[in-house]
């Protein structure tokens, strides 16, 4: 874990490390934030998928409109899922 | 071609027998039972893959369950449940035998019916209080014809009520009559009535990192 070794090394030299801590803190908070956003997005997309189906079953949109919107939302869901897989918190493991 | 070792798990039923339901499964695979004691898992051979939650896949999953429901009461498995091989599946069935058997008792001869009530252009339900009174009135009257009720997510602003009801197969007609009565009473609202479904909202099998879980209505 090069990041932590660097911190300890700098501390041993008597150098202040608060900025590095802050970066770690910010990254961590942002990672959690991203995870939250991914989940929130997933929920939003799932709701839109269901609403699209609802409108189709109510006869308020045509089959073509339904299918176009459905394909678009399925694509969005897939992209969001991929974002979840490659989120920054996991990238650290690869580099480590 | 090499036979897939993975098993796609559709539902659990009460049966001691090995039975084949034909090639009705995902990827047109044969659907069959793997019994453990007097319960059985309904499965089809499948690669260990992450099934996308597409309309085609969910329809296929649900159609298999519907077919099984013609003959048995079912405890459905969560969509996309794939187990590495038969040995692991049997271990899971052994571990989850008691809750599965209990759940099968709970849903014996039961089906799930879905009710969605939607605001139309003619409806003006601006007031939340008005909405609350109306939904509780409708839910209560439908609940009286069902064994259990569960309100579900209002995923659209147009939805006034989204609920599922666990109904005895012999009482489906009575429940449907109540729906008709409510439709006549609230003509400005649109009712979407669907089913019979497997009781997904009341009990289902979830297999996760901590093993097998049987989720029952009200439990998280």
Q: Which range marks the domain in which residue A14 is found?
A: 2-95
Q: Where in chain B is the domain with CATH 3.30.70.1430?
A: 110-197
Please name the helix (run of DSSP H) or strand (run of DSSP E) that holds residue B216, with its range, or none: strand B211-216
DSSP bridge partners of B190: B118
**Residues B192, A78: C-beta atoms closer than 8 Å:** no
DSSP bridge partners of B151: B163
pLDDT at B71 over 90: yes
CA distances from B143 to A84, B55, B172 (A): 40, 30, 13
pLDDT at B95 over 80: yes
Average pLDDT value for residue range B127-143 = 89
- Whether A23 and chain B come into contact, CB under 8 Å, resolves to no
Beta-carbon contacts of A79 under 8 Å, excluding residues fewer than 6 positions away, are none
Please name the helix (run of DSSP H) or strand (run of DSSP E) that holds residue B9, with its range, or none: strand B7-14
CB-CB neighbours of B115 under 10 Å: 23
What pLDDT, on the 0 to 100 scale, is given for residue B104?
93
What pLDDT, on the 0 to 100 scale, is given for residue A21?
55
**Residues A51, B190: C-beta atoms closer than 8 Å:** no
Nearest-angstrom CA–CA distance, B162 and B64 = 25
Nearest-angstrom CA–CA distance, B79 and B213 = 14
**Residues B156, A78: C-beta atoms closer than 8 Å:** no
Quick one: how far is CA A75 from the chain centroid?
16
Higher pLDDT, B177 or A27: B177
Closest partner residue to B155 (CB to CB) among A51, A58, A70 is: A51
Query: Complex ipTM above 0.85?
Result: no
Counting the structural domains of chain A, the total is 1
Tokens of B64: 């298999």
Output the CATH code of domain B110-197. 3.30.70.1430
pLDDT at B175 over 70: yes
Average pLDDT value for residue range A3-16 = 47
What pLDDT, on the 0 to 100 scale, is given for residue B208?
67
**Residues A51, B156: C-beta atoms closer than 8 Å:** yes
Locate the chain B residue with the closest alpha carbon to A81. B52
Residue B177 near residue B146 (C-beta atoms within 8 A): no
Locate the chain B residue with the closest alpha carbon to A60. B120
Q: What is the pLDDT of residues B41-54, one digit of tens each?
A: 999 999 998 888 78
């Amino acid at each position: 874990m090069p990041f932590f070794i660097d911190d300890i090394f700098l501390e041993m030299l008597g150098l202040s490390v608060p900025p590095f801590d802050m970066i770690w803190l910010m990254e961590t908070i942002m990672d959690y934030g991203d995870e939250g956003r991914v989940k929130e997005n997933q929920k939003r997309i799932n709701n839109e998928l269901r609403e699209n189906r609802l409108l189709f079953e109510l006869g308020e949109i045509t089959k073509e409109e339904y299918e176009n919107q459905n394909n678009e939302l399925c694509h969005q869901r897939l992209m969001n899922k991929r974002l979840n897989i490659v989120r920054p918190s996991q990238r650290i493991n690869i580099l480590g | 071609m090499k036979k897939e070792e993975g098993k796609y798990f559709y539902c659990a039923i009460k049966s001691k027998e090995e039975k084949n339901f034909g090639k009705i499964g995902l990827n047109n695979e044969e659907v069959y039972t793997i019994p453990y004691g007097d319960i059985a898992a309904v499965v089809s051979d499948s690669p260990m893959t992450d099934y996308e939650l597409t309309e085609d896949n969910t329809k296929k999953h649900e159609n298999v369950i519907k077919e099984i429901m013609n003959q048995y009461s079912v405890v459905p498995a969560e969509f996309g449940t794939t187990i590495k091989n038969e040995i692991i599946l049997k271990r899971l069935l052994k571990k989850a035998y008691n809750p599965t058997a209990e759940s099968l008792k709970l849903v014996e001869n039961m089906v799930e019916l879905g009710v969605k009530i939607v605001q139309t252009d003619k409806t003006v339900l601006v007031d939340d209080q008005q909405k609350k009174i109306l939904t509780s009135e409708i839910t209560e009257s439908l609940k009286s014809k069902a064994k259990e009720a569960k309100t579900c997510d209002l995923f659209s602003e147009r939805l006034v009520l989204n609920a599922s009801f666990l109904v005895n197969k012999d009482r489906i007609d009575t429940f449907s009559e109540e729906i008709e009565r409510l439709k006549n009473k609230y003509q400005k609202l649109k009712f979407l009535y669907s089913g019979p479904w497997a009781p997904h909202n009341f009990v289902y099998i979830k297999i996760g990192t901590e093993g097998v879980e049987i989720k029952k209505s009200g439990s998280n």
